[in-house]
Structure 1
């Protein structure tokens, strides 16, 4: 069953997916009062203003603007060096109003889009990325993925659902499903012979199947049996437990973003409930 709507994979489609979700963040911010900017979100430790600070900070950095150095306090939600780096862009903007930070994003976004839409820029052009120089298509994919997750953080805090069928939503779903074999075999620790079918029921509709077997290294390996239109006929059909999990796009992406505990996630199961729980506990691809 092909994903619908399909996730863009070329530079143009990925840039437009990023542009749409980034503009949605701007539009949501324009509707906020300072009290709204102070609302807590499902992203641990961050308010709505912090979400916008993060997006503005990353896009400004990618355009060559550098924030002043700032010490990041030992916040509970900052757990590693990468977390500290991400938090610094938020921390340096904490003394500013929400509307001021939003104005920064409104100023930098056209610069970013002009860069990403530059004539002559191709999928394989090397440009600055969040983690270093990278292919332009990969940078656009990472930014669409990240910004859409934060857009959903803001929407949830404001109780204004939307954009669950957008190109960036499809980018997020597809990127999360690509990681499913590794998550099932390694993090969930399912035994060889296990099969997991995961249905995303919409608005983005997708289906993925994973079979676990033992690799040459003696460790469990997950193989994608199918995703979208692809079916891998070489995956061995070993006997073992099978579980089918169904979730909405919202439930799947909020869990995959690490925003909601399994206990707070709506899903249905056919098969082994305990096995499904292990898969869902492992189903986090970003924080």
Structure 2
């Protein structure tokens, strides 16, 4: 049973799906202004062009409403499976990629909204096990990160102003990070002695506590920078992140990664 089939009540907008809908609109506006050379330019996601990034986001939506139309990736890690889905679409034109994205995203966001009232856990493999209602946040996080960090400068090739990094988008993205971080970094966090606070300022701001016992480290920065460093798309120095406390524990936290 796919998420699209799991509930039959009317769609219920949530903050995450509203954030996702806002970034969907922004991405379609962006795509409308790209030239052929833009589409083929390498993005900030190694091995993927700008077109590949958009194709990936379309494939991700397809996994919600029509997973049987995607290549079989059983047994593969999430990121390798995503590579396979992108490779499958490399023969498509940019226009095909945009048409597919525009169509499937509308269906998928509706399906994701219905998950808000589904009370069960989803085993998402190496992404972790999460409440069904949190799945829209994973999609919002994926869109937020790829658009701003992989398509736009300084990491990506596109100039101009990216979509807003506002309360709506950042709250949705960081809700996913906060839930996924402990599961996706279990082995790394086992080496943490005491506890650490990640103190995040700005839209969607909060303090994320890691570990147990007395605090040995405090890491401070803004929420937009946090998304970049926790996805390994920027260093603490580049993003003006400050650590107070045990330098060995700080070195460990630098290696945290959420996807």
Q: TM-score, normalised by structure 2?
A: 0.74
Q: Contact 2:185–2:257 at 8 Å: present in 1 too?
A: no
Q: Contact 1:205–1:249 at 8 Å: present in 2 too?
A: yes
Q: Which residue of 2 is the match for residue 146 of structure 1?
A: 142
Q: For 1:153-232, list aligned pairs within 5 A.
A: 153-156=150-153, 157=156, 158-159=158-159, 160-179=161-180, 186-188=187-189, 190=191, 192=193, 194-210=194-210, 222-223=211-212
Question: Deviations along 1:143-197, whole A, 9 cap, x unmatched?
Answer: 22222222222234224333322423212223323455668884155453x3322
Query: Structure 2 vs 1, CA of residues 278 and 101 (structure 1 numbering), >3 Å: closer, same or farther?
Result: same
Q: Contact 1:242–1:271 at 8 Å: present in 2 too?
A: yes
| 2:14 counterpart SS class | helix
Q: Distance in 2 between matches of 1:175 and 1:169?
A: 10
| Partner residue of 1:267 out of 229, 233, 241 | 241
What is the Cα deviation at residue 20 of structure 1?
Answer: 1.7
Query: Structure 2 vs 1, CA of residues 166 and 39 (structure 1 numbering), >3 Å: closer, same or farther?
Result: farther
Q: Distance in 2 between matches of 1:126 and 1:184?
A: 23
Question: Deviations along 1:79-130, whole A, 9 cap, x unmatched?
Answer: x543332122211221223233112111222222344456xx7521679997
Query: Structure 2 vs 1, CA of residues 130 and 89 (structure 1 numbering), >3 Å: closer, same or farther?
Result: farther
Q: Which residue of 1 is the match for residue 118 of structure 2?
A: 124
Q: Which residue of 2 is the match for residue 6 of structure 1?
A: none
Query: Structure 2 vs 1, CA of residues 127 and 15 (structure 1 numbering), >3 Å: closer, same or farther?
Result: farther
Q: Distance in 2 between matches of 1:184 and 1:130?
A: 15
Q: CA RMSD in A?
A: 3.5
What is the Cα deviation at residue 268 of structure 1?
Answer: 1.6
Q: Distance in 1 between matches of 2:102 and 2:133?
A: 23
| Partner residue of 1:104 out of 89, 100, 120 | 100
Larger fraction in helix: 2
What is the Cα deviation at residue 55 of structure 1?
Answer: 0.9
Larger Rg belongs to:
1
Residue 48 (str. 1) matches residue 73 (str. 2): no
Q: For 1:69-88, list aligned pairs within 5 A.
A: 69=71, 81-88=77-84
Q: Which runs of 5+ in 1 are unaligned?
A: 1-9, 72-79, 211-221, 224-235
What is the Cα deviation at residue 54 of structure 1?
Answer: 0.6
| Partner residue of 1:35 out of 32, 37, 41 | 37
Q: TM-score, normalised by structure 1?
A: 0.68
Question: Deviations along 1:13-32, whole A, 9 cap, x unmatched?
Answer: 33222222222222222222
Q: Which residue of 1 is the match for residue 22 of structure 2?
A: 20
